[in-house]
Amino acid sequence: MSKNYYIETWGCQMNELDSERLSGNLKLRGYQRVEDESQADLILLNTCSVRDKAEQKVYSRLGRLRELKKEKELKIGVCGCVAQQEGEQILERAPWVDFVMGPGNVGHLDAVLEHGTRVAIEFPEDRNYDIVAVDRTSATKAWVTIIEGCNKNCTFCIVPTTRGREQSREFESVLDEVRAAVATGRVEIELLGQTVNAYRCPKSGRDFGALLSAVAEIPGVVRLRFTTSHPAEVNESMIVAMRDHENISRYLHLPVQSGSSRILRRMKRLYTREKYLETIARIREAIPEIHFSTDIIVGFPGETEEEFQETLSLIEEVRYGSLFAFKYSPRPGTPSLRIGEPLDDEIASERLQRLFDLHERMKKEKLESYRGRVVPVLYEGPSRNDPAMLSGRTDDYWVVNFHGDPATPLGSILGVRIDSAQHHTLRGEAVA
């Protein structure tokens, strides 16, 4: 009997990694992956609920899959954050769905399939990390979860509901997974967690800085990254680990969400504008070449023009290389629903545009500053837009498309002379 599965992934890197783990588990059970859903015997939707009308999107996708299920024998599983958020309701509204499984149960897909479980949304103590059963999509890079869940309870955020309380993995188990990934040629490691720098080994109490250093010192780890850091969890040990290990990327994603201390308090972000800027200054002092990126929410309930201006001035002050900004999106059950209504959509869109315009100018200047320089680039494969070119990333995580020898082994570090800056990327030529 054929066993084909199709998996669709929405959302963040954590969801991407969850899909790699689900996929690895299925392959060990003899399933084969197909890219055409009509050929599948099992369809998994790995969903995200952090913004927008995520639930509606999933129900409308399920409506289309219902038609497919009429034509053939097919199992449908809804996984990820919408599964956790909606739980049993999914089975009520879409009874053709076979099971609903939250992010805490990714390591237990076997049991769900074997026992015919219909709803698996508890957060088990043992997350069952099978470090072999990860079907990694990149040949050069491996994502490794170090901490699950989040205890921060930002008032806008659904993550504590969908991913549960913080739970760090054991130090040694993380190192084992990194070693296993390196042994298969993954030279770039990205440590993952919703609040990655809140990591504490449950056995020894060692913190994130200690883990960063230990991973960076594993032979074969050419580049080390991590996401997402919470500004209130940045400490000396993390900064020192980054400063002292050249293979830790000179890139830090540090979501600020707003430049106004009043809004930050209402978001329950646990820092003020001043404290955030102090943290940025401390990191820059230790690692002057660092590329900062951030997330911003525009139009949080009650955000005034003046408060929005504070966000613009913070962006100018920090001079982020990269920036991700979103309109506030009310999420079910989050405390921000009690704070007030979202801003008028037209005003929020107009603010978002002003913010992007400001950042575009800054990013252009930053990218232009690379022109003429020779920078080390980790080669990842052919360029997506022009397969005749090679593609990779700098130490500070800019994408570089360049002319070079296509026989270069994946994962090599090459010197590339930058000769132009595109919209989001750099272009150049490999040099001897």
List residues near ligand SAM by CB under 6 A.
12, 50-51, 150, 154, 156-157, 159, 194-195, 228, 230, 255, 257, 295, 297, 326, 328-329, 331
For the stretch 6-34, what's the b/e string if a residue is b when 16 or more beta carbons lie within 10 angstroms of its beta carbon? Answer: bbebbbbebbbbbbbbbbbbbeeeebeeb
Q: At what angle are helices 208-216 and 236-244 packed, to 10 degrees? A: 10
By beta-carbon proximity to ligand SAM, the closer residue of 169 and 230 is: 230
CB of 183 to ligand SAM, least distance (A): 30
CB of 15 to ligand SAM, least distance (A): 9
CB of 193 to ligand SAM, least distance (A): 8
Q: Residue 425 is encoded by which pair of tokens?
A: 């990327």
CB of 66 to ligand SAM, least distance (A): 29
By CB atoms closer than 10 A (0-12, 13-18, 19+), residue 78 is buried
By beta-carbon proximity to ligand SAM, the closer residue of 85 and 383 is: 85
Eight-class DSSP state of 341: P
Output the residue with the shortest Cβ distance to ligand SAM: 295
Give the whole-angstrom CA distance, residue 97 versus residue 274: 49
By beta-carbon proximity to ligand SAM, the closer residue of 166 and 207 is: 166
CB of 257 to ligand SAM, least distance (A): 6
H helices within 325-406, ranges in order?
Answer: 336-339, 345-368
Give the whole-angstrom CA distance, residue 301 versus residue 346: 14
User: What share of residues in the chain are helix, strand, coil (percent, to 5)?
Assistant: 40, 25, 40
> With contact defined as beta carbons under 8 Å apart, do 243 and 272 qualify?
no
By beta-carbon proximity to ligand SAM, the closer residue of 23 and 195 is: 195
CB of 321 to ligand SAM, least distance (A): 17
Q: Is 416 helix (H, G, I), strand (E, B) or coil?
A: strand
Neighbouring C-beta atoms of residue 350, cutoff 10 Å: 14
By beta-carbon proximity to ligand SAM, the closer residue of 295 and 350 is: 295
By beta-carbon proximity to ligand SAM, the closer residue of 2 and 151 is: 151
Give the whole-angstrom CA distance, residue 87 versus residue 248: 39
CB of 225 to ligand SAM, least distance (A): 15
> Which of 426, 406, 425 minimizes the C-alpha distance to 416?
426
Torsion sign across C-alpha atoms 329, 226, 150, 56: positive
By beta-carbon proximity to ligand SAM, the closer residue of 140 and 195 is: 195
By beta-carbon proximity to ligand SAM, the closer residue of 17 and 157 is: 157
Give the whole-angstrom CA distance, residue 370 versus residue 106: 42
CB of 343 to ligand SAM, least distance (A): 12
By beta-carbon proximity to ligand SAM, the closer residue of 291 and 427 is: 291
Eight-class DSSP state of 21: H
Spatial neighbors of 1 by CB under 8 A, at least 6 apart, are none
Q: Residue 320 is encoded by which pair of tokens?
A: 């982020």
CB of 315 to ligand SAM, least distance (A): 14
Eight-class DSSP state of 257: B
CB of 253 to ligand SAM, least distance (A): 8
By beta-carbon proximity to ligand SAM, the closer residue of 233 and 380 is: 233
